[in-house]
Chains A and B, each alone.
Chain A
Amino acid sequence: MKVRLLDIAHARSGDKGDTANVGVIALEPEWYPVLSTYLTLERVREHFRGVITGGVERYELPNLKALNFLLHGALDGGGTLSLKTDAQGKVFSTAMLRLVLDVPDAEATSLGLSAAGHWPADAEAPKA
């Protein structure tokens, strides 16, 4: 089953020089194994090919149900050097969430994943 990362994870990104970091966090704790198994270094490297000029590092944080990726050569030099709109890598987070994972059907079904968008049903409505 093709599963959009956007439907199973949220993310935040930031910068360190010319490197963008992207933390990817499972929307539901029980979905973390999907991230740790299928959101591999190779998968992320392939996703950002042509977008970044350097390598990728990957770290696991099972305690936070999160992975952390370092994308090197992502920011046209970074900081004040960069001519990019996103000089500080603030929205590499959502660029990451465009990634589509291949999850075996049985596993995806047992975890309640689908191609449809997920948003927690119990979320409270905003105050007026």
Chain B
Amino acid sequence: MTNSSKGRAIVRVASGQGFWGDWLEAPRRQVEGGDVDYLMLDYLAEVTMSILQKQKERDPNMGYARDFVGAIESVLPAIAKRGVRVIANAGGVNPPACAAAIRGVAAKHGVSGDVRIGVITGDDLLPRLDELIDGGHALANMETNEPLSTVRDRVLSANAYIGSVPIVEALQRNANIVITGRSTDTALTMAPLRYEFGWAADDWDRLAAGIIAGHIIECGAQCSGGNCLYDWQTIPDLANVGYPIVEAKSDGTFVVTKHPNTGGRVSIPSVTEQLVYEMGDPHSYITPDVVADFTSIQLAADGENRVRVFGIKGRPATDKLKVSIAYRAGFKAVGTLVYSWPDALPKAKLADRVLRERLRNLGLEFDAIVTEFVGVSATHGPLAGEAHDPPEVQLRFGVRGQNKASVERFTRELAPLVLNGPPSVTGFAGGRPKVEEIVAYWPALIDKRVVQTKVEVLS
């Protein structure tokens, strides 16, 4: 067996965060619960970048996932004294500001000398957008094919999804905390494996294996018993759920497991549920580094809370990168009222008709009005069948439109129903619905060669 550059036969990558807002305890539990070599923290969802961009506009020192600062603080002893390295896409739209905050925390705890921060930039295309469009890059919407020029004046953020290469470079330059912007979630796991085992840039099968390892653990506990439908009643001790760990070998095979004495369950069903999560065409899982084939994945039980993954095939990467663009797309508001037995559903339905008539009489125009009856048909619609006189039904009423004043006016129409609509109504303690600006997602592709990443290592 070939060992890693550090002489390791097995490299352990632990997942400590599946999205911004995930369990604050998880990172510390992952480094304290047993041996791990890398802690991988995924903070970025599709719309997170635009939220961060808005924060950066208000304060140039913001624009990164602030939870990361607390996470690092909770794992500093492991980084400084035990050699655990952290890789996170917490940089958002401002990796340098994120790095500065992390340096501050290291200084506060007197471990500045033990921390080398790798900062990866170059994914942010917002400053270059006009130049790119003028240069013939249409950045057409992958779903609708419309060119970006149709919403150019409303664009808030634009970031290319970058792959493992700059992370590997930061590790080679001895960074022990690597901060990226819009890196793919999967690269955060694949990069340390590629670095440790020296996998070549055209070693498609192994690179694909690293990507699939990343896909399995990128949503945190969602592969180790969290949100697991299979046998859910018997999954033990979710209060103490263990987040997943990949134990990888240089040949590209790996085991998914979790620390001993933790709750949850790692099993073939739990891993399979995560494998199919957000899956498109399983033959072609396209990443900046490789195209992975999910139809090649083999799973085998490998003891309690251990699943072995092998057989993975990959193909050459494409010459494009996906770009995540966020743009302002109008306003929305959603409000609720609760109607009680008897005849809860007919009362809620009458309230819906009354509300729609009042909005019409006011001459308000919306792009969409959506009514749901929570407890009856909100999530499964007509598939849910007939409701049999439920004890209560929540009327959930939402509007969306370009005119903020119209949406604002709608939020004033819900409360009056408490006194001037159908009876047996309650649940309005939360007050008027809030008007939210909609920041929508515009996925596009761009030629790889126009995106240049930059790695800086601060010590």
Q: Given A12-B229, A17-B143, A50-B382, A83–B370 Cβ distance below 8 Å?
A: yes
Residues A9-30 near B (CB distance < 8 A): 10-18, 21, 23, 25, 27
Chain A residues within 8 Å of B276, by CB:
11-12, 21, 23, 25, 61, 64, 66, 68
**A112 within 8 A of partner (CB):** no
Evaluate contact between B441 and A25: CB separation under 8 angstroms: no
| Interface residues of A, count at CB 8 A | 50
Chain A residues within 8 Å of B372, by CB:
84-85
CA distance A127 to B241 in the complex (A): 12
CA distance A126 to B280 in the complex (A): 34
Of B59-67, B118-126, B266-274, the one touching chain A: B266-274
CA distance A104 to B277 in the complex (A): 31
Chain B residues within 8 Å of A93, by CB:
229
Question: B381 is contacted by which of A50, A119, A126 (Cβ under 8 Å)?
Answer: A50
Question: B234 is contacted by which of A25, A48, A95, A126 (Cβ under 8 Å)?
Answer: A126
Q: Write the nearest CB–CB distance from B275 to chain A, whole angstroms.
A: 6
Q: Given A14-B277, A85-B374, A98–B231 Cβ distance below 8 Å?
A: no
Evaluate contact between B381 and A12: CB separation under 8 angstroms: no
Chain A residues within 8 Å of B278, by CB:
14-16, 21
**B129 within 8 A of partner (CB):** no
Closest residue of A by beta carbon distance from B278 = A14
Chain A residues within 8 Å of B281, by CB:
57, 59
Residues B294-322 near A (CB distance < 8 A): 294-299, 311
Evaluate contact between B269 and A85: CB separation under 8 angstroms: no
CA distance A59 to B294 in the complex (A): 11
CA distance A81 to B381 in the complex (A): 19
CA distance A64 to B269 in the complex (A): 9
Q: Given A12-B276, A16-B280, A51-B383, A124–B269 Cβ distance below 8 Å?
A: no
**B332 within 8 A of partner (CB):** yes
Q: Write the nearest CB–CB distance from A6 to chain B, whole angstroms.
A: 10
Residue from B227, B276, B297, B372 with most neighbouring chain A CB atoms (10 Å): B276
Evaluate contact between A10 and B443: CB separation under 8 angstroms: no
**A123 within 8 A of partner (CB):** yes
Residues B240-288 near A (CB distance < 8 A): 263, 269, 272-283
**B378 within 8 A of partner (CB):** yes
CA distance A51 to B379 in the complex (A): 10
Evaluate contact between B297 and A63: CB separation under 8 angstroms: yes
Q: Given A59-B282, A61-B282, A86-B379, A79–B47 Cβ distance below 8 Å?
A: yes
Evaluate contact between B234 and A80: CB separation under 8 angstroms: no
CA distance A10 to B277 in the complex (A): 12
CA distance A59 to B382 in the complex (A): 25
Chain B residues within 8 Å of A36, by CB:
none
Offer 25 A-B interface pairs, CB within 8 angstroms, sorted by A: A10-B229, A10-B273, A11-B276, A15-B278, A16-B280, A21-B276, A21-B279, A23-B276, A25-B272, A50-B381, A59-B281, A61-B294, A63-B297, A78-B441, A80-B438, A80-B441, A81-B400, A85-B374, A85-B378, A95-B381, A95-B383, A125-B234, A126-B235, A127-B236, A127-B263
In addition to A21-B280, A83-B398, A85-B396, 11 A-B residue pairs with Cβ atoms within 8 Å of each other are A11-B229, A15-B278, A25-B276, A51-B382, A59-B281, A77-B368, A80-B440, A84-B398, A91-B380, A123-B231, A125-B234
Tell me the B residues contacting A by CB distance below 8 Å: 46-47, 143, 227, 229-231, 233-237, 263, 269, 272-283, 294-299, 311, 329, 332, 334, 368-370, 372, 374, 378-383, 396, 398-400, 438-441, 443
Closest 7 pairs (CB-CB, A-B): A23-B276, A83-B398, A14-B278, A83-B370, A127-B236, A12-B273, A10-B230
